[in-house]
Amino acid sequence: MTDRTPAAGQASAVENEPSRLYVYAIVSAESYAPTTTGIDGSALHMVGDANGPRAVVHTHRGGPYDGPDDDVKRWVLEHSEVIEDGWKGAGSVLPVSFNVIVRPDIDSGASATAQLERWLQATSSSLSERLEELGGTSELRVEIALDRSAFLDGNEEIRSIRTDMAERPAGVRRLLEKRLEKTEKELADRAADDLYPAVRARIAERCLAIEEYRTPARNAGQTPILTASCLVTEPGIQNLGAELTAIQNELPDTEIRFLGPWPPYSFADMSDSVAEMSGTEAQQRESQEST
């Protein structure tokens, strides 16, 4: 693990800098208090009016977190744990992405805390509305893919090509293998495209909102049908799970992954809004939320 402690001269310079605020999340105006620590064990505190939305932060000195991949993965995980603590403790949370830091305004002399408080007050109405909308919700990840091997085993065209290959010389077999590979991909892609509309409609019916992603299949032998994040209430978790079980039973050639529940990252990220605040620096990194 890399030691991020600055040299003596650098440490002195950092200590003399006005403190900044590292922001994790926005929570509702309830009696929530963090029950965990932040990145590298940083002490957490709340910023904002007790009667309005508040931010979960730690006092920060220096720039954005940067280092070897193992360190970054650990910091992202610790960041996510704070968001989850707010989600469970406050009942509703607006996550802020990794490495969003509010700094003082040099021109006006406003501290980082004053900067953040001013932004929370200015956006109080919209933040409160969104927090209320997301109260009691969570995010689930659904991945549905076609198992090409299982699907193609019953296909007459594929069986015919395989039979033909077995009876041909080696050189011809190599040509037929390329034809087989192309035909298998085309058939699987077409089948996935045909299944997509009905599958998506069934999943969307069980969600308050759905956010789709275009991602490659996890395994080489799969053809993606649908990859999506779903916003659900507590009863919605069981309802969506039951629907996925029904889809699996009806479409045995599919493979389904059902992940979560998590805080509603895909439906509530406030990073862009916070980054628009005067005196904010943000270094975005792609993070993995328990996938």
pLDDT one-digit tens code per residue, 201-246: 999 999 999 999 887 777 778 999 999 999 999 899 999 999 999 9
The amino acid at residue 119 is W
**Tell me: the pLDDT tens digits for 265-289?**
999 877 667 666 645 555 444 433 4
Question: Residue with structure tokens 């649908």?
Answer: 226
Mean pLDDT of 113-122: 93
pLDDT at 280: 59
Using pLDDT thresholds of 50, 70 and 90, give the confidence band for residue 164. low
Higher pLDDT among residues 118 and 291, named by residue: 118
pLDDT at 1: 29
Q: Percentage helix, strand, coil, to 5, in the chain?
A: 45, 20, 30
The rounded mean pLDDT for the chain is 84
Burial of 238 (0-12, 13-18, 19+ CB in 10 A): exposed
The amino acid at residue 76 is V
- The distance of Cα 72 from the centroid of its chain, to the nearest Å, equals 16
Q: What is the pTM for the complete model shown?
A: 0.78
Beta-strand (E) ranges in the chain?
A: 20-27, 45-47, 54-60, 93-95, 100-102, 137-147, 209-212, 222-233, 254-262, 280-282
